[in-house]
Copies of this chain bind each other. A is one copy, B any other.
Amino acid sequence: MLAAVKTPAELTELFRSRGLKITPQRVSIFRALYDNDTHPTAEAVYAKVLEEMPTISLRTVYQTLNDLAAMGEITQLDLGTGSARFDPNLSPHHHLVCESCGQVRDVYGEFDGVKIPKNKLAGFQVSSTEIVFRGLCPDCAAAAEYAGAGAAT
């Protein structure tokens, strides 16, 4: 379902080709990330991996996530939700963040208009553009409306 996400097998091959060892911990983390569009925190990945590998340490999860990010296979997101989130989806996209529950949703779209006029760049070299839309997810919006209506009476 997800576009531009490497399978566990592909990541395994990538690690092998770089002379890195294929450990069960790493493979389990690859699986936890695959087909995962929840933008999990390190803790969330840890929880998922624990199910099939009860002895893995949180430290190893951090280590592997950092390695993957350094290789460019996942992106680390800092959305101001307390902890970093990791996104295995490499196709160009942006994010909707619910300010109430913290859930993150992908937004596909081009936004070609988002370019800084050269005369305003003043020598700055832009290599990536992130757009974050903040607001309320459907559930939280409904809850807020309900609470508002209740409080108004």
Contacts and interface: CB of A to CB of B under 8 A. Distances in A.
A131 B129 contact: yes
Among A116, A125, A130, A132: residue with most chain B CB under 10 A: A125
A125 B136 contact: yes
Interface in A119-138: 120, 122-138
> Could you tell me the dominant secondary structure of chain A's interface residues?
mixed
Contacts of A125: 135-136, 141
Interface in A72-104: 76, 78-80, 84, 96, 98-99
Interface residues of A, number: 37
Contacts of A109: 116-117, 120
